[in-house]
Each structure stands twice: as C-alpha cells, then as structure tokens.
Amino acid sequence: MGTTPLPLLPIWSEMEPPSRRVKYVRDPDKVTQIPESEKAILKRVAEKYVFRANDYYLELIDWNDPHDPIKQLIIPREEELTDWGKLDASNEESVTVSHGVQHKYADTALLLCNEVCGAYCRYCFRKRLFMEGNDEVSNDVSDGLNYIASHPSITNVLLTGGDPLLMSTRRLSEIISALRDIDHVKIIRIGSKMPAFDPWRLTKDQELQAVLRKYSTPTKRIYLMAHFDHPRELTDAAIAGINCFIRNGVICVNQCPIIRGVNDDSEVLADMYATLSHIGCTPYYLFQGRPTAGNEPYEVPLVRSWEIFTEAIRRGSGLARRVRFVMSHETGKVEVLAVDEHHIFLRYHRAKNPADCGRFIICKRDDEAYWLDDLESIDGLGSLPLTTDIHANDE
C-alpha cells in the first residue's frame, strides 16, 4: 500500500496574500462615503480625538448599514463630545516610574514606545497619547531599558503605545535586541492591532520576520497580543498575517474590550472566539471598557457585558473559552466571576498591592454600573476601590 510522502516543509507561500501597501487617511473629509451633511460635525470630533484610517480597513465597512460595526469602530461620532469619563481612567500616571515606562505588577513593565497607531479606534482608553501636548510616550527607550535592567523581578515586558508595529523595523529590532540582553526578561509582548489594520505589516517584511525568529527562542518567547474586536476583521489577509507571526516563532493571543455597537453581542463574540481559536490566536482577555473621556457611546454596563460574555463562551470549545472578563482598574485586573439576582462576584486576578491578589469581593448588583468604582461592596467595607494608594512595584 503506497502512501504519499508528506512534504518536509509546509508550503507557507500558499497562505501569503498578495502584498499590499495600505494608504492612510487622516481627514474625515477624504472618506467619500461619509455624507457631506455629517462631515462638519465629524471634523469637529476629529479635532478633539484624532481620526486615522486606511483604505484597506475602510473597505471592510458596509456603508449601506448605518450601524455597521466596523464603521462604529473607526468613524468618529458626535456623541464622543459628551462630557463623560476621564482621559486617564485607570490612572496610569500613578504607575509611571520613568518617561515611557509603567510598572504596576512586580513581574511586568510596559514600554510606551510609539504614539501612532495603524488607525485610531474610537473607544481607545489611551487616546490622550494622541492629543497635542501629551509626552507620555518616549521615543528614546534607554531610560526604560535601564529601569528594567535594574529590576530583576521584571520577567515580562510589554511593548505598547500606540502601536509598536508601526515603528520602523530598525527601531523595533534595536529595542527587542536590547531587551534580550537583559537576562531576567523572559517574555517580550508586542501589543498590536496592526494584524487587523494592516495584515501585510509582517508578511512583506522579511527583515522583521528574521528578528522575530532570532529573538523568540524556545526558552524566551515573543508574544503578539493581537487586538481583533470583530469577526469581520479576521479576513483571509489577517489570518495569513497571524500565520506569519506563528511560523516565525511568535505565540499569538487576542485581547479586546467589549464595545457598544461593535461586539456587544454574544453571537458576534462567540464567532470571533471560535475563529481566533482555530487560527492559533487564543482569546486571552475581554476588557470592560474603561470610563474614558469621549467613550460614552461605546460603553456597555458591567452586568450586561458579563451576560454577553458568559453566553458567548458557553458556545465555545475549551480553547475559545480560556478568555477572562476583567476590568483593568487602577488597583489591578479585577475579574468578574459571576452575577446573581442580588450580587456581583469579583476577584483580583492581578493586583497592584500584592496583598490583594486573589482577593474575592462581593458587591451589590447594579445594572446601571459601568466600573468598579460604581459598585458597593456588601462586606461592610463600603464603596470600592479599597487600595488605590498602595504602590506595589516597590521591591
């Protein structure tokens, strides 16, 4: 009985989409599908919260549907001007230890190394970085590298911003290489929405592929913290983009917020989680939207978010349901475990104060609440949060 021998190497090129250079659009006036009658107000919104998109991503929009989720994600809305929330809703300032460096949990540091993204998500919790006068991002990461080198507890570094994959390959390589010179840094994470906004960023860049292969080693991996919000972003090109990360040795996971009008639907989330698990980009976190200025039209009440989330993961396989639903609060990552008729059950998954790690909290159910600060605990400790003034990164 003859069997066809398997090829020694997979023919990856069959997965590669034709290379494409996306064209950026920074002025809503240039988006021809936006009706003239809406352009003046959207321009006013974009003056406050910057607009940027590209031709590929705009092609994903169904312009015949006024509620199209991709449109909600990228096209400004007048309601963003509603006075609501804070620019730094989870007080990242309080964990900024050096220019462009955040250190909240002992083992993890964030390097804010780029203030530009492939496009700007309307609901972004870091939109302050894109505003004039903000200088939280540091293009020179030497202070950050020194800080990380002098803190042996830091085993994980997240490159973020903005989007690190929008930096030049040379700069990104220099940062990754410098981090690999620090022995105690084991995991390098790249937080990026480029696989959704420009799936060809990696597939057409052989040099960056070589850098990832070199520095994502069997004992010290590079992770892509991808950011897909809706299954329609998982195009053939995007899937080929993720495949390119994987075959260059990068572990891929996905994290995204729950966004009103985009993915606040259990079928949409279940569909996305299923595809993500099929392509090797495991769902990791679903975030409750932070109460960020300009984000009122995109927020979902906490209990409603939890209902959507639990219904979505009920339909998924084990890998699709590894995702956790959390609030990235200034005191830590607070996981929403359960909701019953009268209560919301929460637990610190990560805590700024190590003493809080794993702490269980029971709150009164409040269907109007959006955030931890809106809840009232029932253990006699009053309203939350309890530990905002503690700095756990002192070693």
Residues that bind ligand SF4 (CB under 6 A): 117, 120-121, 124, 126, 162-163, 193, 227
Q: What are phi and psi of 96, to 5 degrees?
A: -85, 115
- Strand segments (E) across the chain: 24-25, 53-54, 96-98, 101-105, 108-114, 156-161, 187-192, 222-226, 251-257, 281-287, 324-329, 332-339, 343-351, 360-364
Q: Whole-number minimum distance, CB 321 to ligand SF4, in Å?
A: 24
Of the pair 135, 183, the CB lying nearest ligand SF4 is at 135
Q: Whole-number minimum distance, CB 56 to ligand SF4, in Å?
A: 15
- For residue 49, the 8-state DSSP code is S
Q: Whole-number minimum distance, CB 126 to ligand SF4, in Å?
A: 5
Longest dimension (CA), the chain: 75
Of the pair 151, 227, the CB lying nearest ligand SF4 is at 227
Of the pair 120, 215, the CB lying nearest ligand SF4 is at 120
Q: Whole-number minimum distance, CB 47 to ligand SF4, in Å?
A: 17
Q: Whole-number minimum distance, CB 383 to ligand SF4, in Å?
A: 29
Q: Whole-number minimum distance, CB 49 to ligand SF4, in Å?
A: 10
Of the pair 193, 201, the CB lying nearest ligand SF4 is at 193
Of the pair 122, 329, the CB lying nearest ligand SF4 is at 122
Of the pair 122, 324, the CB lying nearest ligand SF4 is at 122
Of the pair 209, 292, the CB lying nearest ligand SF4 is at 292
Q: What is the DSSP string of 321-367?
A: T--EEEEEETTEEEEEEEE-SSEEEEEEEEESSGGGTT-EEEEE--T
Q: Whole-number minimum distance, CB 175 to ligand SF4, in Å?
A: 17
Please, which contacts does 63-69 make with residues 24 or more away whose CB atoms are closer than 8 Å? Answer: 63/33, 67/261, 69/230, 69/232, 69/261, 69/262, 69/263, 69/268
Residue environment code for 332-359, b if the CB has 16+ CB neighbours within 10 A, otherwise e: bbbbbbebeeeebbbbbbbbbbeebbeb
Residue 95 and residue 141 in contact, taking contact as beta carbons nearer than 8 Å: no
Residue 179 and residue 145 in contact, taking contact as beta carbons nearer than 8 Å: yes
**Sheet arrangement for strand 251-257:** 96-98, 101-105, 108-114, 156-161, 187-192, 222-226, 251-257, 281-287, 324-329, 332-339, 343-351, 360-364
Q: Whole-number minimum distance, CB 329 to ligand SF4, in Å?
A: 18
Of the pair 73, 97, the CB lying nearest ligand SF4 is at 73
Of the pair 298, 348, the CB lying nearest ligand SF4 is at 298
Of the pair 227, 230, the CB lying nearest ligand SF4 is at 227
Q: Whole-number minimum distance, CB 117 to ligand SF4, in Å?
A: 3
How many CB atoms lie under 10 A from the CB of residue 132?
5
Q: Whole-number minimum distance, CB 161 to ligand SF4, in Å?
A: 6
Residue 255 and residue 225 in contact, taking contact as beta carbons nearer than 8 Å: yes
User: What are the residue ranges of helices labelled H in 34-89?
Assistant: 36-48, 55-59, 69-74
Residue 123 and residue 295 in contact, taking contact as beta carbons nearer than 8 Å: yes
